[in-house]
Structure 1
Amino acid sequence: MHALVIDDSKPVRSILTKVLTGLQFQCIEAQNGVEALDRLSHMPRPALITLNRHMPEMDGFELLGRIRRSQQYKNLPVVMISTDSTKASIEAAMRLGATDFVAKPFTPTELVARLNALGLIQKTNNTNESLSKTQRSSSFDSHTNQPVQNKAEKKPIRLLLVDDSAAIRGILSKTLRDIPGIKVIGTAADGEKALTFLEKEQVDIVLLDIEMPVMDGIETLRRIREKYSRLPVVMFSSLTERGAKATLESLVAGANDYVAKPTATDNDSIVARIESELVPKLRAVYRPPGTNKECGNHTASTKSPIQSRWTKKSQNISVIVIGVSTGGPSALAEILPHLTVADAPPIVVVQHMPKEFTGHLAERLSKMCKHRVSEASHGQALQPEHIYLAPGGSHLEIQKRGKAFILALHNGPPENSCRPSADVLFRSAAKIFHSDTLALVLTGMGNDGLQGCKMIASEGGVVIAQDEPSSVVWGMPGHVVRAGLADAVLSLDRVGPDIAMRIRRQQQ
C-alpha cells in the first residue's frame, strides 16, 4: 500500500517516510501542494496522506480542500501534521476534512498510535518487527532528522536575533518562543550590539540580518568569524537583487545558511515561513555544546583503508561533478581555486540554491579562480579549464552530441525535493564518462547525490565525500559514506589539493 508524504521540510519527510516504510507503506514524497497534486495523478491511489499545513506555492489547507472536493479522494485518510496545533487550527483542519491531526514535534510512537487508532496499520509479523525497531529507536525531533534521547533533559538552542527592525525581532521572538528546543536569549538592533552581547553570553546560533545601520550583517559576520570561528550563523535576508547578492557574499564569507525574509506583511504568513523554513535550518546547523568538529568519528586520515581505495585506483579524470547544499558557497570558495590547474578537466557543479543566487555565486567564484566560472546554459559546450554551475530551478545534465559534450537544462520533476539535483547530473556523467568520472559530494542536508554515486561507482568512477567535522551538515556526504560508496573521505582543506595533485599526475 502507498502513502503520500507532503511537507516542505526534507528532514520531516525523511522521518515520516522512515516510520511509514517500517509499517509496510511504499512512500512517495512531495514538498508542496502543487507537487502533491502531480504525484497523486501519477501514482496508485494511496492508503494514506500525511499533510503539513504551512507550505509554499499551495498550503495544506488549500490542498486538503481540493482533495475533499474530488470524488476519487473524498474518503482518503488524510492526517495533518503541523506545528500550528492551536485549537482553532485543529478545528479548521477537521472542518476541511482532515481525518486526524498530529502536532509537531512528534515521536514515531505517537504517530504509530494515531495510525493504529485509525485502523491504517496492517498487522503482520514483519510489520510488528519493523514497528518494534522503530519504536525502540530514539525519538526524533520533527524539524530535524536527529535523535532526541531525552527531551526533558535536552538543553534548548540558545539563539541571538540580530535585526534592525523591532517588528521583525518581535514576531521572531514570539514565534520561536513556542517552538520546543529553541530559546531566544537576546536580541540586537545592529552588529555592534550583537558583538557586545556575544562577549557576555554563551550563544549557540546567531540569526543575522544583512542590511542594518551602524554595522551591517556582512561586516558583523566577518567579526564573528575572527573571534568565534565555529559559531553557526544563519543569514535572514530579502530575495531582492540587492539582498540576494549580499546574502551570497555572506555565504562565501562563512555564513552557514540563509533564510529569505517573508515578502508578505501579515503575521500568519511570516509565522508560517519561520516554522517551515527557519526552524529546520536552525536545527540542522546546530552543534550541541561539547561537540568538537575537529574530532569526528568518520574522518579519514591519509592511512585509512577507505582512502587507500582511491590511491590504489588508476583513473583518468575526464570530468569532475560536484553536489553540495548547506554550507556550499564557502566550501566551493575553498576548493575550486585549487582545481584551476592547466588543462584541468571541466567541472560541473550542482549547488542547491534559488535562481536569484546562482548567477551571483558564479560571478563571485570567477573572481577567486583562474578558470572561468559561469552559470550553465542549455546547449553550451563542455570544455576543459571551465567550471559550470547549474542555475537554480533547473536540472543540469551532460549529453554527447557527435564527438562533442554539451550541457542540457530541463525542468523535470524535482528529485530528492531538489531542482537542480546532483543525482541527475551524476547519472548523466556516469553514462557518458564511465570510469573517468570523479564525483565530489560536499556538505549539505538530505541525501541528494546518493543514487548518482551508486551509478558512478558501478561504472568504476571515483567518489569523494567531505568528512563530518568540516561539514556544516553531514547529510549528503554522510549518506554516501554510510553506503560504502566513498573512495576517500577528506576534510575540506584536503579536497582541493588532493584532487589537483591527481590531475597533475595524469598530465605527466
Structure 2
Amino acid sequence: MSEARKIRVLIVDDSTVIRRLLTQVLADDPNIEVVGTAPNGRIALAKIPNLKPDVVTLDIEMPEMDGLQTLTELRKIDRKLPVIMFSTLTHRGAEGTLDALERGANDYVGKPANVGSVTEGIAKVRGEMVPKIKGLCSWFQDHLQLARATQRSAQASSGPEATGLGNALLDSCSSPTFRRTPKQRVDVIAIGVSTGGPNALAQVLPSLPADLPVPVVIVQHMPPVFTKHLADRLNTKCSVTVAEAKAGDSLQPGTVWIAPGDFHMTVKAVGASHRVVLDQSAPVNSCRPAVDVLFQSVASNFGPGTLACILTGMGSDGLQGCRDVAKAGGHIIAQDRETSVVWGMPAAVTNAGLAHQVLSLQRVGAELTKHAMHGRNKLTLVKSGA
C-alpha cells in the first residue's frame, strides 16, 4: 500500500476509554489513519467536512446527539460515506444497531465484553473492525484488486509454465462463465449473506409470497441476540413466516429460518421431512454460523433441488458451499456488484464461474419466487398468526 494514502477514520464515541482503545487499535495498522475523534454526533457532523474521513465509527448512546440522530442527519448530506456502528452486544444494543442499519449504517462491530484482559479486548476489536473498515473503503478495495491483477500478470509473463498458470488464474478471477441448467423443480432455497445483509434481506424476503411452496434457510453473519431481533423484525414485514431457527425445527413451505448467532446450521432428513440441526463446531472461514456449512448440508440433502443465493458480504464464505451445490446439480444466484454493499462473497462465487445468474438486489426476490414456483400448482398458505 502506498504511503501517500491511508484510510481516514473518524471515531465518534462519548467514552474517552473507547476512543483511546479504537485509536490504538487502528493506529497499529499501516493502512489506516485516525484523523479525528468526537464525543457526540453534533461535534462529529461539524468535523466531517474538514476531516473528509473515508469511514466513520459511530456509537449509538451518546449525549446531545446520539448515533441514530447522527446517522439520520449524515445521510441527508452524504449517502455513501461508510459508517460502522460500534455497539454493545445486548438486546438494547441489537435493537439500536438494527435501527441504525435501517437508517443507512453499513456494518457494525460489538464492543468487547466479558473478555479476560485489555489486550484480549483490543485483539478482538482489531480482528473485527480493521477488516470491515478496509472492506467498506471502495478505493482501498480497488487498489487491492489492481495489485492482485498486476501480480497475476507478472506471474503469467515469467515463463511458459507460469504463463499457463497465470492465464488460468486470470480466467478464474476475471472471466467467469455463466452456465445455464435446464429448469428443474426447486425443493429448498438457501441464502448466504453478511455485510449489508439486514437491508438486503429486508428487500428480498418481503417479495416472497405467502404461498411460497418451499422452505428458506439463511445464514446471516451476526452475533447471538442480533439474529433473533433480525428475524422478529423481518417477520413483521413479510408474507412468509420468518423465525430464528431452533434445533429440531421441521422445514415447512412458506417459512424462513435464520441461523442463530454462534451456531452452525445444517439440515437432516428425518423420515419424509427435513429438520434443523444446530451445533457449535469450529468456525469455518472464521464464521459461525458459516454459509459454507449450510450450503454443503443443503446440497447433500436436496441435491439438484437446491437453489442457492449468495448476497452482499465480505470474504468468500459460501464459495465452497456453492461448489457443492453446483456439483449436486443445483442452481446458484449471486448479487451483482452495483447493488452490493461489499461485493466479496458474491464476487468469489461469480469469479469462480459458479453463478448461473448475477442479478441486482431488486430482482432477486422475484427470481427466487419464479424458480420455486416452476413446475408446481400454486398452494394456499396462511402465515401463522395472521
TM-score, normalised to structure 2's length? Answer: 0.81
Whole-angstrom distance in 1 between the partners of 2:59 and 2:106: 13
Whole-angstrom distance in 2 between the partners of 1:471 and 1:487: 18
Q: CA deviation at 1:266?
A: 6.6
1:406 to 269, 275, 282: 275
CA offset digits 1:333-360 (Å, max 9, x no partner): 1211112342342110011211121111
Q: CA deviation at 1:375?
A: 0.8
Say whether residues 1:395 and 2:296 are aligned partners: no
Partner in structure 2 of residue 279 of structure 1: 130
SS at match of 2:198: helix
Opposite residue 159 of structure 1, the aligned amino acid is V
Whole-angstrom distance in 2 between the partners of 1:305 and 1:420: 28
Opposite residue 16 of structure 2, the aligned amino acid is A
Partner in structure 1 of residue 359 of structure 2: 490
SS at match of 1:235: strand
Q: CA deviation at 1:305?
A: 9.4
Structure 2: tracts of 5 or more residues without a match: 143-174, 378-386
Stretch moving more, 496-505 or 406-415: 496-505
TM-score, normalised to structure 1's length? Answer: 0.63
Contact 2:184 2:374 in 1 (8 A): no
Counterparts in 2 of 1:223 and 1:334: CA distance versus 1, 3 Å: farther
1:330 to 196, 199, 203: 199
Partner in structure 2 of residue 181 of structure 1: 31
Say whether residues 1:163 and 2:13 are aligned partners: yes
Q: CA deviation at 1:269?
A: 4.5
1:215 to 25, 46, 65: 65
Percent of residue pairs bearing the same amino acid type = 47
Counterparts in 2 of 1:415 and 1:266: CA distance versus 1, 3 Å: closer
SS at match of 2:192: strand
1:481 to 341, 350, 371: 350
Q: CA deviation at 1:160?
A: 1.4
Q: CA deviation at 1:159?
A: 1.1
CA offset digits 1:257-287 (Å, max 9, x no partner): 2111123697544543443332222112111
Partner in structure 2 of residue 357 of structure 1: 226
Say whether residues 1:375 and 2:226 are aligned partners: no
Partner in structure 1 of residue 308 of structure 2: 439
Q: CA deviation at 1:438?
A: 0.4
Whole-angstrom distance in 2 between the partners of 1:370 and 1:418: 30
- Would you say how many aligned residue pairs link Structure 1 and Structure 2? 344
The root-mean-square deviation of aligned C-alpha atoms, in Å, is 2.5
2:79 to 221, 229, 235: 229
Counterparts in 2 of 1:277 and 1:433: CA distance versus 1, 3 Å: closer
CA offset digits 1:301-358 (Å, max 9, x no partner): xxx9966x45x63122211001112221121112111123423421100112111211
1:260 to 100, 110, 116: 110
Q: Whose RCO is larger (CA < 8 A, sep 6+)?
A: 2
Contact 1:306 1:489 in 2 (8 A): no
Opposite residue 191 of structure 2, the aligned amino acid is I
1:458 to 324, 327, 331: 327
Opposite residue 189 of structure 2, the aligned amino acid is I
Contact 2:185 2:374 in 1 (8 A): no
Moved over 6 A (4+): none
Q: CA deviation at 1:457?
A: 0.9
Whole-angstrom distance in 2 between the partners of 1:185 and 1:305: 39
Structure 1: tracts of 5 or more residues without a match: 1-147, 292-303
Q: CA deviation at 1:381?
A: 0.9
Counterparts in 2 of 1:501 and 1:305: CA distance versus 1, 3 Å: farther
Q: CA deviation at 1:410?
A: 2.1
